[in-house]
A and B are shown apart, each in its own frame.
Chain A
Amino acid sequence: MKLKKSVAISENGFVFNASRGDSFSTNPTGTQILNWLREGQTDTEMKALLLEKYEIDEATCEKDLYDFIKMLNQQNLIEA
């Protein structure tokens, strides 16, 4: 699972997919996850990173990550 090459992420949460001309806004947690995806981190690795970095329990972390990745898929931001 990898972010599409055409996707640009700016620090302030503005996301642009040049291949389709779509733009998005995301929050700091979202920006963080997009950057990890860009680096090629897996689901399991990202979950571990989130748990390490944030005050959050495992169940919430897993539910939210699953949901966020579903949204990225739906918005065509992830390589098929």
Chain B
Amino acid sequence: METLQKLKYERPVIKQLNAGITNKFGAQTGFIPHTHIDGLAVKDLTARFGSPLFVISERTIRQTYQEAYNAFANRYPNVQFAWSYKTNYMNAVCRVFHQEGSWAEVVSRFEYEKALGNGVPGDKILFNGPDKTADDHRVAVLNNSPIHIDHFDELYGLIEVSTKLGKRPKVAIRVNMDTGVLPMWDRFGFNYENGQAWDAITKIIQTDKMDLVGLHCHIGTFMLTTSAYAVAASKMADLALNIKRQFGLDIQYLDMGGGFASRNTLKGAYLSGTDITPSFHEYAEQICTTLIKAGFRSEELPLLILETGRALIDDAGYLLGTVLANKRLSDGRRATIMDFGVNLLFTSFWYEHAVSPAQDCSQYAEDAVLYGPLCMNIDVVRENVKLPPLNKGDQMVVHRVGAYNMTQWMQFIALRPNIVLIDQDGQPHLIRKHETVADLTQLESTPTHLESFDL
């Protein structure tokens, strides 16, 4: 009997064409399946480490770091990056940055302890943030860590702690300022325009209990306007030069903070992030040119510190997941439910994350909503995305998830999954084990009167 060769199946789809209304990103001509990450097949990674799964490319981290470092180092004589722990404080990730030469930038005792645990010398841990207790100060002073003072209460508290210890802490103040970009981040640090920053500087120098070694600012995050950094750099330089003039003191470093945009697309943005995000060169040009022309003698140019976070790590992170189900909403749109949601992808509140199928797919797109698995209405990964037909069990890759997800993820409804780092030779390493019910319940205790019940 003759057996007929069956045809490869593809789910039937039909889509209305709207004459005259073009998609804001131009016509979608096709989907490129993203089947491999650094040479490893997505399906093998999920078979071995489960789904959902975070994957980090060590090669991409190093390449991105070197690109950023060179952009600054080619324009300015002394440049130092300090890895912003809150962006991604997986130890393996931090250590890649430390191997590349980054110091650590932390904003809590927890992060501080992590940096020490990773082997960062105390004097290379910059301690930022409004939340430092007297004990945090004590430890930072003993370790000789630069303390970035956020408010007057901290300043007075630190004077007390250091007097008791009989030690002179190394300090900087955080400065906030108008850079022409809204919103103005004036809740952290001392304001430049109203003279508060200068008052804090004067207080520190006149009290003579601490060494003012630097000035710090962090003007915002995902700053698409590079010229804001020129404004910030000139105000920082102005403070440093005034300190030299009035007190004869050389400021050792200017820390310009973070805030460079990654290549993600902001929600509601008209253009895709890959098209409009400034390069490291554009940021470096604004900052370095301003500092070099500011009026420092060339041998007195302060060390330039950068605390770049998301722009250094977003591209290196992927989230792999699996389609749980498809359904049709009342208005005819397709809804695809994934095994990851906002619990793992906090940044989906800000970004329209790029998603790709991880296997060959049809070129016929459908308008779809991408939901997570949580039984909560807020669990929307993409509100409106064109996707090829996907079947239950198909896999997807979410791009540029390296920043703020592996730190801001929520243990809400579900447990957090494995994280794998692919090294430069293409070998996968489990760098954080998925959570178990026991991991979480071991932290709980049950009062004896609640131990038993009859149902």
| A11 interfacial by beta-carbon distance below 8 Å | no
Q: Given A23-B19, A26-B364, A71-B332, A54 and B14 touching (CB < 8 A)?
A: no
Name the one of B11, B17, B362 contacting A24, with C-beta atoms under 8 angstroms: B17
Given contacts A13-B364, A29-B10, 16 further A-B contacts (CB under 8 A): A24-B14, A24-B16, A25-B17, A26-B12, A26-B364, A27-B10, A29-B9, A32-B12, A53-B6, A53-B7, A55-B6, A56-B9, A60-B391, A67-B326, A71-B328, A74-B332
State the interface size on chain B (CB cutoff 8 A): 20
Q: Does B13 contact A (CB under 8 A)?
A: yes
B1-54: which residues lie under 8 A (CB-CB) from chain A? 6-17, 19
Given contacts A29-B10, A53-B7, A55-B8, contact A24 B15 (CB under 8 A): yes
Q: Please, what's the 1-or-0 string for A5-45, where 1 marks a CB less than 8 Å from any CB in chain B? A: 00000000101000000111111111011000000000000
A68: B residues at CB distance < 8 A: 12-14
CB distance from B394 to the nearest CB of A (A): 12
Encode contact with A along B362-384: 1 for CB under 8 Å, 0 otherwise: 10100000000000000000000
Q: B17 touching A55 by the CB < 8 A rule?
A: no
Residues of B within 8 A of A (CB): 6-17, 19, 326, 328, 332, 362, 364, 389, 391
- A58 interface residue (CB < 8 Å to B): no
Some 29 contacts from A to B, beta carbons below 8 A apart, are: A23-B16, A24-B14, A25-B14, A25-B17, A25-B364, A26-B13, A26-B14, A29-B9, A29-B11, A30-B12, A30-B13, A30-B14, A32-B12, A33-B12, A53-B7, A54-B6, A54-B9, A55-B6, A55-B9, A56-B9, A60-B391, A67-B326, A68-B13, A68-B14, A71-B14, A71-B328, A72-B14, A75-B16, A75-B332
Question: What separation, in Å, do the CA atoms of A67 and B13 have in the docked complex?
Answer: 9
Q: How far is the CA of A54 from the CA of B17 in the complex (A)?
A: 27
* B residues near A24, Cβ cutoff 8 Å: 14-17
A29 contact from B12, B16, B326, Cβ within 8 A: B12
